Amino acid sequence: MLDQHEAASTPGSWPGGAERGLFGCAFVALFAELMLIRWVPAALELVSYYSNLLLVSSFFGLGVGVLLAHRRPALFGWFPALLLLEVCVILGAKRVTLAGATPSDELRFMPELADGGAQTWSLAVLVAVFAVNSAVLVPIGQRLGELFGRAPVLRAYTFDLGGSLAGTIAFGAFSYVAFSPVVGMAIPLGVHALMATRRQRLFGLPLGVAALVAMGHATAPGALWSPYHYIVVQDPAGGPPPDAPPPDVRTMTNPPYYVVAVNHTFYQYHGTLDPARYDGAPAGSWRPAPSVLERHALPHLVRPGARSALVLGAGGGLDVESVLLHGVTEVDAVDIDPGLIALARRWSANGVYDDPRVRVHADDARAFLERDTRTYDCVVYGLLDSQALFSTMSNVRLDGYVYTLEGLRAGWRRVAPGGVLSLSFYVANQQWLAVRLARLVTLATGREPLLFTEGMHLVAVVTRGDAKPPGELTRFRQLERLAPDEAGVVVPTDDWPFLYLRERTIPRDYLLVLVTLAAGVVVTVAAARPVGGRLGAPEAQAFFLGAGFLLLQTKSITDCSVYFGATWLVTTVVVTGVLLMVLLANLATIKGVGRASYVSLFAALVVTCAMPREWILGLPLGGRLAWAALAVPLPIFFAGQIFSTAFRAAPRPAALFGANLLGATLGGLCEYGAMIVGSRGLSVLLIGLYALSLVAARRAAPAAMRE
């Protein structure tokens, strides 16, 4: 057992050590939080659709820890032990199936749907993940709260923000250079060890090493960590993962094909569609089924003779290879994940990404469409990603803004006169999704598409000229014509980008998890009151400022993702910019530059929330950059100044800071409301949260607020 007196004696007691301690704690918290958000969904696929709960639980754990400042026992030394506990819980729950929702609520690409018993078990696992992820950061939060009392409050806040900013930048650089869960988690553990006492290191280092060993053991040999996915190449026959493809994979007869899985779930094939590469079908070989060839050939039979093509969601290159096999001589291939492109260059027998006729773009499809001005004879939507959220601060899938009315219109604008647009989609026998896509294509193009289904796939083809009627496509007699029923069809838009959600609702399993977690938050907050009394009006103001802050950060990320692409780089830049803006607001408050004003905050919120996205998208790239650099940060700056001003006057800074972090927990839970009310509805809620903070501020200091 750790000695509590030694645990309380820390480098924070050295001259100037409080500032270093605050910076180090904030760095550890931010880096560890981002690492767990990155690793947990890859280790436990169940969490992939709830990954923003990891962010929420991180704020919750830090907030509870800050409220426990100056209480005993001192918990700082327990960080490695709690990390090991979380790793064990995650690895022990790897076989849990998908929770709660029936297929009619939301389409999720998982191996199987859970029965009632598994639903209950899955809910329990999600709550357990939330609990242990929160617990990991409680010791760091407690140390933060202790150190806030050892330095002038705004100076302490400056070092806290500086550590968070450094953690964000360091994690972004680390992820870009070469991500590794073991090396990555070793970084916050190492910083923690530097800050710990000798006895804490003796206790924590073996446990931290055990956590790293377990994380490494859970990573498959040869796995690739891309910016978006944990990727593994698998043997389609179920054998051990191959070490490497044959050296002549691009030229050999009867080449192999490979299954690529992300987060332990099937994702795509890497192989070739070229019939000339096959000579019979010897045992162990694979050749594409006629239906696969036909599905890829559809747009070229409807509109033959295309010379230029744009392929969105190029992935393993099969769609790119198909357009080349049909005579296209100039191809732009777009895929958001550079890891998948690199994988295809090595493993795919088609070799299309090294073909001189192909230009490769590692970019978000929607961003490419908005930025590009060229037109093409053929625009092909491949099977884009649908198994990951584009940000831990949003419930929008990575391809969410591609499959919206505005997104499809952007694609249609790239179709040349007489050209063709083809959209392929895995609808998993969900009639409502097939009907929605049919309606979406019809509204986006203003034309009735030719619609075909084959197995679990839908193909929609529409041309700017004359198209061959379905009767002439004799090779596709096995494909049935889909008659869309438009009654009650909800079409995804940029305001409600939830293609996979059947209607405007929060699915039952999400709701059960949210209610359970919210109840846990209320109970824990009631039990974790700070030393010295209850939480009052100043803490209430900070609480609602925290809730508004996280929703405002979410809005900034989603808006900029529409303007510039839903890439990891855009998200990292926005989060870094948000933290930098809060830091500048705090420094301005210290220097007495400007005055915190709710009037300025609400004016900035109205401007940024009311401005139509389509107007900003109509601006040239320079105009969008100017808007994102000037208008988007203003509410964050004003809200930051208001919080810093309240922070400086707080009689109990740690309690105020803890309440602010717990408010961020509420803001994260509120983000799920976008599934019902959309982005504009969340903007109204955002303004409401800041209005509640104003009410609390008036109660805390009515005289000052009337000046």
CA atoms of 546 and 10, how far apart (whole Å) = 29
Q: Provide the pLDDT for residue 286.
A: 66
Give percent of the chain above pLDDT 90.
Answer: 39
Q: Provide the pLDDT for residue 511.
A: 84
CA atoms of 75 and 314, how far apart (whole Å) = 49
Nearest alpha carbon to residue 394 among 635, 47, 57, 51? 51
Query: Is pLDDT above 80 for 414?
Result: yes
Query: Is pLDDT above 60 for 665?
Result: yes
Q: What is the mean pLDDT of the chain?
A: 84
Confidence of residue 530 (pLDDT cuts 50, 70, 90): low
Q: Provide the pLDDT for residue 523.
A: 80
Q: Provide the pLDDT for residue 24.
A: 94
Q: Provide the pLDDT for residue 1.
A: 40
Cβ atoms of 514 and 426 within 8 Å: the answer is no
Nearest alpha carbon to residue 193 among 70, 36, 32, 80? 80
pLDDT in tens, 564-602: 887 778 888 888 888 999 999 999 999 888 777 899 999
DSSP characters over 325-342: HTT--EEEEEES-HHHHH
Average pLDDT over residues 431-447: 90
Average pLDDT over residues 494-499: 92
Query: Minimum mean pLDDT among 5-19, 68-82, 459-473, 497-511: which range?
Result: 5-19
Q: Provide the pLDDT for residue 489.
A: 81
Angle at Cα 597 formed by Cα 660 and Cα 615, nearest 5°? 90
Average pLDDT over residues 270-285: 75
Q: Provide the pLDDT for residue 606.
A: 92
- Report the residue count for the chain: 707
HSE toward the beta carbon, residue 407, CA cutoff 13 A: 31
DSSP characters over 529-552: PPTTS---HHHHHHHHHHHHHHHH
- For 290, phi then psi, to 5°, come to -55, -35
Q: Provide the pLDDT for residue 266.
A: 79
Query: Is pLDDT above 70 for 533?
Result: no
* Alpha helices, H only, 289-404: 290-302, 318-325, 338-347, 365-371
CA atoms of 196 and 43, how far apart (whole Å) = 29
pLDDT in tens, 126-161: 888 889 999 999 999 999 999 988 888 899 999 999
Q: Which of 341 and 394 is assigned the larger pLDDT?
A: 341
Give how far the C-alpha of residue 581 lies from the chain's centroid of Cα atoms, to the nearest Å.
22
Q: Which of 111 and 438 is assigned the larger pLDDT?
A: 438
CA atoms of 26 and 12, how far apart (whole Å) = 13
Q: Provide the pLDDT for residue 15.
A: 38
Query: Is pLDDT above 70 for 2?
Result: no
Q: Provide the pLDDT for residue 94.
A: 73
500 contacts: CB under 8 Å, gap ≥ 6:
106, 107, 108, 386, 397, 433
Q: Provide the pLDDT for residue 261.
A: 85
Q: Provide the pLDDT for residue 182.
A: 93
Q: Provide the pLDDT for residue 14.
A: 38
Nearest alpha carbon to residue 160 among 143, 175, 173, 172? 143
Cβ atoms of 313 and 335 within 8 Å: the answer is yes
Query: Minimum mean pLDDT among 22-26, 291-295, 299-303: which range?
Result: 291-295
Q: Provide the pLDDT for residue 685.
A: 94
Q: Provide the pLDDT for residue 11.
A: 42
pLDDT in tens, 166-196: 999 999 888 887 789 999 999 999 999 999 9
pLDDT in tens, 40-61: 888 887 787 777 888 889 999 9
Q: Which of 289 and 6 is assigned the larger pLDDT?
A: 289
Q: Provide the pLDDT for residue 457.
A: 81
Q: Provide the pLDDT for residue 71.
A: 82
| Helices 153-178, 653-670: inter-axial angle, 10-degree rounding | 40
Average pLDDT over residues 244-266: 86
- For 160, phi then psi, to 5°, come to -65, -45
The CA radius of gyration of the chain, in Å to the nearest whole number, is 27
Q: What six digits make up the tokens of 611?
A: 């401005």
Cβ atoms of 318 and 289 within 8 Å: the answer is no
Query: Minimum mean pLDDT among 60-64, 235-239, 598-602: which range?
Result: 235-239
Confidence of residue 4 (pLDDT cuts 50, 70, 90): very low
Query: Is pLDDT above 60 for 100?
Result: no
As to burial, measured by CB atoms within 10 angstroms (0-12 exposed, 13-18 middle, 19+ buried), residue 1 is exposed
Q: Provide the pLDDT for residue 482.
A: 59
Q: Provide the pLDDT for residue 117.
A: 45
Task: Please state the domain extents for the chain.
Answer: 1-221, 286-384+405-481, 535-707
Q: What is the CATH number of domain 535-707?
A: 1.20.1250
Nearest alpha carbon to residue 646 among 685, 704, 591? 704
Confidence of residue 531 (pLDDT cuts 50, 70, 90): low
CA atoms of 109 and 292, how far apart (whole Å) = 20
Query: Is pLDDT above 60 for 431?
Result: yes
Between the alpha carbon of residue 493 and those of residues 263, 578, 613, the distances in Å are: 28, 26, 11
CA atoms of 343 and 317, how far apart (whole Å) = 10
Query: Is CATH 1.10.3720.10 correct for 286-384+405-481?
Result: no
Give percent of the chain above pLDDT 70.
Answer: 87
